[in-house]
């Protein structure tokens, strides 16, 4: 059964023994983050108790300093077991299989084929969101006399620029198509009624913003392009860019504390034409209920704990950051649009849902690994020779991708690298390692053995230039730098390799079978499992 809201999800976590309620008084400034960071790394500290699984439990803080009665939920996705519980599966590959099933549907050739498709069409009909007239997120409506600081927003790291809303579902609308987008972008709280809006250049909401700039600029294409170029890196701190950017407003809504499928959908690298509410419906197997906002023409999940409504001025940028990021380093301060809050609605006694990022592993690591498994079938649409993918957690998801392929022709590994660099968010991948299909990419020891044995560095490493993640502090320019691809597949004569390729050392089947038959007794003598 899908979870209708965050409260159902919290109850499910508690039933599953995945939640801990914290009664000790804690400060939302730094202290909650330090506690959560320790819990998320408990398995790295030699803990072996049943409750000390990788990632630690979800935490519900119920005694937050300065916020009597408030509750803060964090680390809700911080373990593989909770990601599976959130999405209602025993294995994340189940969702990949469902995606594959819908992708494999062929056009019906006759009446019987059409009849056979009816159950699938009926299931697909469950995915589309539906609008309701009243909603729990509107139990309290505040058009004035409100402040963002009424909520226990965290400061996570000592050098952060301030408090940040870190788990928001930010809703914008494409000014051309009218389609909604739900993204997750950190929001630095400047004061009680404004925040930064950290949508990086390559994000969908940033493209909505640029299109609004183009429209507001009017005039020639050159003038419109010049207006968009204002989003290029500048310096000088908080300021208005007067006389250069077109005036106007872009409506934005922010939902905090949504059901787990909606929250997860906000981070998935979906094609821009597919609404995240539809993806959430697919993951839940039931439609997401939406409600119209009070002051902006947007819809938000009806079961949200907190909703912020407002706008971004097209002619305003302000310094945002620094921020302790998922790379393990601070992302530096920079200029970003400013979100102005016009209305806040929320449930009675809302639960404030948040997260922290920092040196991995953290909660986002398990969300990223779920994306890796679920979207493998979609990658295969473009790269059919792809067998498996591993985005190691320590590679922070844009620094390293390891892929295995069925190699059929010379140079295929390099073709795969370039295909990956052309795929949505995968374009940011700094290093790609390509191995043969018999290599288990999830086994880093095996990958390391094959990688360094199989390459001639000058021949098998290629470099290229292109877009890089905005958080990459090592690139020569912001958002633009070099990438590396390593062809660690076996080399063929048709690739210019004329020496014999040696066989891998493997014991013969007869001897293995013989030792297998004796292993129980041997293991007892050896003191092994």
**Cβ neighbours of 431 (radius 10 Å):** 16
Angle at 85 between CA 56 and CA 259, to 5 degrees: 100
Q: Work out the average pLDDT over 68-76.
A: 97
Residue 427 is classified by DSSP as G
- Window from 44-48, 83-87, 323-327, 486-490 with minimum mean pLDDT: 44-48
Q: Indicate the pLDDT class of residue 101, thresholds 50, 70 and 90.
A: low
| Nearest alpha-carbon partner for 210 in 248, 238, 261 | 248
Cβ neighbors of 228 (< 8 A, separation 6 or more) are: 210, 213, 214, 217
Q: What pLDDT score does 52 carry?
A: 43
| Least confident segment among 106-115, 152-161, 317-326, 445-454 | 106-115
- Residues 306-318 pLDDT 10s: 999 999 999 899 9
Task: Give the containing element (helix H, strand E) for 182.
Answer: strand 180-183
Q: What is the pLDDT of residues 413-460, one digit of tens each?
A: 999 999 999 988 889 999 999 999 999 999 999 999 999 999 999 999
User: Coil, strand, or helix at residue 370?
Assistant: helix
Quick one: 174 exposed, middle or buried, by C-beta within 10 A (0-12, 13-18, 19+)?
middle
pLDDT digits (tens, 9 = 90+) for 215-266: 775 545 554 554 455 554 433 333 444 445 566 899 999 999 999 999 999 9
| C-alpha dist (Å) from residue 371 to 100, 101, 258, 264, 270 | 15, 18, 18, 9, 10
Residue-averaged pLDDT of the chain: 88
pLDDT score of 66: 96
Residue 432's beta-bridge partner residues? 401, 485
Nearest to 305 by CA among 258, 337, 344, 338: 258
325 catalytic per annotation? yes
SS3 breakdown of the chain: % helix, strand, coil, rounded to 5? 35, 25, 45
Could you please state the CATH topology (level 3) that the domain comprising 114-353 is classified under. Answer: Pnp Oxidase; Chain A (2.30.110)
| Strand 130-131 to 168-173 pairing | unpaired
215, 175 in Cβ contact below 8 A?
A: yes
**What spatial distance separates the first Cα and last Cα of the chain, rounded to whole Å?**
39
- By the 8 A CB rule, do 340 and 193 touch? yes
DSSP letters of 191-233? ETTEEE----TTSHHHHHHHHHHHHHH-S-HHHHHHHHGGGS-
pLDDT at residue 44 is higher than 70 = no
What are the boundaries of each domain within the chain?
6-87, 114-353, 386-495
Which DSSP category does 154 fall into?
A: B
Higher pLDDT, residue 213 or 322:
322
Over residues 463-489, the mean pLDDT reads 90
* Rounded Cα distance, 94 and 29, in Å: 39
Decide if domain 386-495 falls under CATH 3.40.1670.10: yes
**Looking at 5, 37, 160, 325, which residue is catalytic?**
325
Compute φ and ψ for 300, nearest 5 degrees: -130, 160
- Which pLDDT belongs to residue 485? 97
d(CA 224, CA 222): 5
- Using an 8 Å Cβ cutoff, are 75 and 57 in contact? yes
Over residues 467-478, the mean pLDDT reads 86
Reading across the β-sheet that carries 480-487, which strands appear in turn? 386-390, 400-405, 431-436, 480-487, 461-467
> If residue 146 lies in a helix (H) or strand (E), which one and from where to where?
none
pLDDT at 281: 92
157, 358 contact by CB (below 8 A):
yes
- Predicted confidence (pLDDT) per residue in 8-28, tens digit: 999 999 999 999 999 999 999
Integer Cα distance of 122 and 137 in angstroms: 29
Would you call 345 helix, strand, or coil by DSSP?
strand
Per-residue confidence band for 95, with pLDDT thresholds at 50, 70 and 90? confident
How far is the CA of 291 from the CAs of 182, 297, 300, in angstroms? 15, 11, 6
Confidence check: pLDDT of 346 > 60: yes
Which comes out higher in pLDDT, residue 515 or 212?
515
Cβ atoms within 10 A of the Cβ of 67, count?
Answer: 18
Asked if pLDDT for residue 46 goes beyond 60, the answer is no
Given a cut of 60, whether residue 301 has pLDDT beyond it is: yes
Distance between CA 136 and CA 295 in Å, rounded?
17
| Residue 223: predicted pLDDT | 46
How many residues appear in the chain?
529
DSSP result, 13-71: HHHTT-EEEE-S-B-TBTHHHHHHHHHHTGGGGT--STT--TT--EEEE--BTTBTT-E
Cα–Cα distance, 181 to 482 (Å, whole number): 30
Report how far Cα 190 is from the mean position of its chain's Cα atoms: 25
DSSP single-letter state for residue 332 = P
> 430 and 400 in contact (C-beta within 8 Å)?
yes
Confidence (pLDDT) at 470: 82
């Amino acid at each position: 059964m899908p979870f209708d809201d965050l409260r159902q999800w919290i109850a499910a976590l508690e039933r599953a023994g995945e939640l801990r309620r914290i009664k000790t008084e804690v400060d939302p400034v730094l202290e909650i983050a330090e506690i959560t960071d320790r819990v998320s790394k408990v398995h790295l500290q030699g803990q072996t108790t049943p409750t000390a699984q990788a990632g630690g439990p979800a935490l519900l803080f119920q005694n937050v300093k300065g916020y009597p009665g408030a509750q803060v939920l964090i680390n809700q996705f911080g373990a593989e077991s909770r990601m599976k519980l959130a999405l209602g599966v025993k294995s994340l590959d189940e969702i990949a299989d469902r995606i594959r099933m819908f992708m494999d549907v062929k056009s019906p050739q006759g009446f019987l084929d059409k009849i056979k498709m009816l159950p699938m069409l009926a299931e697909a009909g469950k995915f589309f969101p539906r609008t309701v007239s009243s909603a729990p997120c509107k139990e309290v409506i505040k058009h004035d006399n409100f402040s963002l600081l009424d909520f226990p927003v965290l400061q996570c790291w000592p050098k952060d620029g301030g408090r940040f809303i870190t788990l928001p579902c930010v809703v914008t609308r494409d000014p051309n198509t009218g389609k909604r987008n739900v993204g997750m972008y950190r929001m630095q709280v400047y004061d009680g009624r404004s925040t930064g809006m950290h949508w990086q250049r390559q994000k969908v909401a940033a493209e909505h913003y640029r299109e609004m700039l183009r429209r507001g600029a009017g005039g020639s294409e050159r003038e419109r392009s010049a207006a968009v170029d204002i989003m290029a890196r500048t310096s000088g701190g908080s300021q208005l860019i007067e006389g250069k950017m077109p005036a106007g407003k872009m409506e934005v809504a922010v939902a905090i504390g949504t059901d787990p499928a909606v929250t997860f959908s906000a981070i998935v690298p979906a094609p821009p034409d597919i609404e995240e509410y539809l993806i959430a419906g697919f993951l839940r197997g039931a439609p997401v209920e939406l409600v119209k906002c009070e002051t902006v023409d947007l819809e938000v999940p009806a079961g949200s704990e907190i909703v912020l409504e407002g706008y971004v001025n097209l002619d305003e940028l302000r310094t945002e950051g620094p921020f302790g990021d998922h790379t393990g380093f601070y992302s530096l301060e920079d200029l970003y649009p400013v979100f102005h809050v016009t209305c806040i609605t929320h449930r009675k006694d809302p639960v404030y849902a948040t997260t922290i990022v920092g040196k991995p592993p953290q909660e986002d690591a398990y969300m990223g690994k779920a994306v890796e498994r679920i979207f493998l079938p979609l990658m295969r649409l473009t790269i059919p020779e792809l067998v498996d993918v591993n985005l190691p957690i320590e590679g922070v998801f844009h620094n390293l991708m390891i892929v295995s392929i069925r190699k059929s022709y010379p140079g295929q590994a390099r073709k795969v690298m370039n295909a990956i660099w052309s795929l949505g968010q995968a374009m940011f991948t700094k290093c790609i390692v390509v191995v043969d299909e018999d290599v288990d990419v999830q086994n880093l020891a095996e990958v390391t053995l094959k990688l360094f044995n199989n390459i001639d560095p000058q021949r098998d490493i290629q470099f290229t230039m292109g877009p890089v993640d905005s958080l990459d502090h090592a690139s020569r320019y912001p958002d633009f730098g070099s990438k590396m691809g390593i062809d660690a597949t076996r080399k063929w004569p048709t690739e210019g390799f004329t020496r014999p390729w040696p066989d891998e050392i493997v014991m013969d089947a007869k001897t293995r079978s013989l030792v297998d038959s004796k292993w129980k007794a041997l293991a007892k003598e050896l003191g092994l499992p």
